[in-house]
Structures are given as C-alpha cells and as structure tokens.
Amino acid sequence: MQVGADGTRMSHYHSWRGREIDAYRKLYMLRALLEGFAAAEVASIMKSGGSIEIVRQSFERLEKSASSGDHAKFLERDMEFHRSIIRRAGVPRLEDLWIILEAELRDFVVFMHQILYGDTCLIAGNHDIIWHAIISGDPENARSAAEAHFDSIWQAMEKHLSFPDSTGDPVERACGYLLCHLHEHVSLADMARNVAYLSLNQLERRFKKAKGITITKYLQNLRLERAAIMICKTSIRICDVAERVGYKDASRFTQHFYRHFGMTPGEMRRAST
C-alpha cells in the first residue's frame, strides 16, 4: 500500500494505533531476532573463510539504489539485502519463516519507508552497520548490530506515530528527516526549504515552541542516543560509532556524550557488559 506525500490514505494508518500497532511491533521484534540469528551465522561463515558474496553483492546494490531516487527500487533492494543474510545463513526452514514474516510486514515496511525515509536516506547509515558487523567476523557483534538496526527503526516509527498529524506538521517532517540523516552533514537551511517548506527562521521558531530546544540541540541529542544504542549493543569501535552518527571529531563526540549521559562512551560500554 502506497502513501502519498500529501498524506493520501493516511487515515488508514492512523488506525494502526493500539492493538494493531502492537501486533506489528511483535512481528517486527520476531524479525529482528531471526535476522540477528542469521547475521551471527553469516559472520561465523566469514570468520571461517567461507564466501558471503551473495550478501556483499546485495549490499552494494542497496547502496547504489540509495541515490537513484527510485523509491520502489530502493525498497526492493532493502528487502533483498535482508533476505540475502537469511539465505546465506544456510539454516533449514529459516528462509521459509522469513518469507512468511516479510509478507505479513510488507505493507507496514512500505509505510515506514514512505513516511520516515521518503528520500531513501536510511541506507548509508543503518544498513552499513549490519554489513560491517558481519564482515568483522564476530558473530555476537553481527547479532547485536542487526537487532540494533531494527530497534532504531522502530523507535523512529513510535515517535512518528505519537503525532496524529505528523505528515502535515513541518516540525515533525523535520524531525523525521533528522532521524534518518544522523550520519550526514545536515544543512538546516536546505531542510527548512525542502522538507518543512518554511524559511529557516520560521522553522526554528516553530521548532523551539514545539520541542523546547533548538533544532541543533535536538539533532545532537538524536545522534548521541543513536550512538548509545550502538555502544551498548555492538562492539563497533567507539571512533567508528562517532563517525556513523555524524561526528568527524571523536574528541568532540566524547565531550558531548559525557555532557548528555554523565559518562564517557567507554564507561557506558563497560557498564553495559
């Protein structure tokens, strides 16, 4: 089911609150567990010297599709990448289970892509984490990265659904954009003009009124919270975590992290284990 940029058929998705959204959440959790298991198996294959070419090729096609502007193709490449991990794991009946889940969740995944990631920006960040965890050859790292990927997407979805009219609210459109551009340099002026359809001054005033903080602070908080997920749930190097949430300067990342959480990234990782 498609959702137009003007919110066409959005009322159908508002009905997903309550019992239906809870059912999708449980299916999504099951999908995360299955892919976490499969990613660990593929990382083990990588560690033992086996070929994971099918996963490599699907990841490369996924990355290429990110800049194509073809949303339908992007979605297919996204699903193909996840399916390749399941397939390469080589566990009997696992792919059969995955296909059933994929069919059950497909409309919901289309909705998430259209509303949260309408410009196909999710690829370079979240999927990259899974791929690099797999090629690290560390099964537990790969499992954690796959599960963290689904956790972060679901968190974004829950934030979106907490606002009944978010598709028509320029502040919430901006928030959705920021959620999936954490790893990039974000031009606030471009976002205001092309996403919120306001001048930067107008958006900043509305944003501060709605959120109680500036856009810059909101983006910083999102980046740090995403970093905390990766620090606690994966073994990705902290300097790489910093880069993957948009920090080019690791020391600046550590300073901001400490101010936000009251501990350094290293201290949080040690505490989580």
Q: What is the pLDDT of residues 169-194, one digit of tens each?
A: 788 778 877 876 777 888 999 999 98
* Mean pLDDT over each residue of the chain, to the nearest integer: 81
pLDDT for residue 147 = 81
What per-residue confidence (pLDDT) applies to 162? 54
Reported as a single tens digit per residue, the pLDDT across 21-45 is 777 788 888 998 999 999 999 999 9
Pairwise CA distance, residues 231 & 80, whole Å? 27
pLDDT at 114: 63
Rounded percentage of the chain residues whose pLDDT exceeds 70: 80
For residues 77-97, one letter each, b for 16 or more C-beta atoms within 10 angstroms of the residue's C-beta and e for the rest, the string is bbbbbbbbbbbbbeeeebbee
**78, 75, 91, 92: which is closest to 39 by C-alpha?**
91
**Measured distance CA(226)–CA(217) in Å, rounded:** 14
CA 77 distance to own-chain centroid: 15
Helix or strand or coil: residue 248? coil
Q: Please, what are the domains in the chain?
A: 1-151 (1.20.120.530), 169-273 (1.10.10.60)
**Residues whose CB is less than 8 angstroms from the CB of residue 195 and which lie 6 or more positions away in sequence, other chains included:** 170, 173, 174, 177
Please tell me the predicted confidence (pLDDT) of residue 244: 82
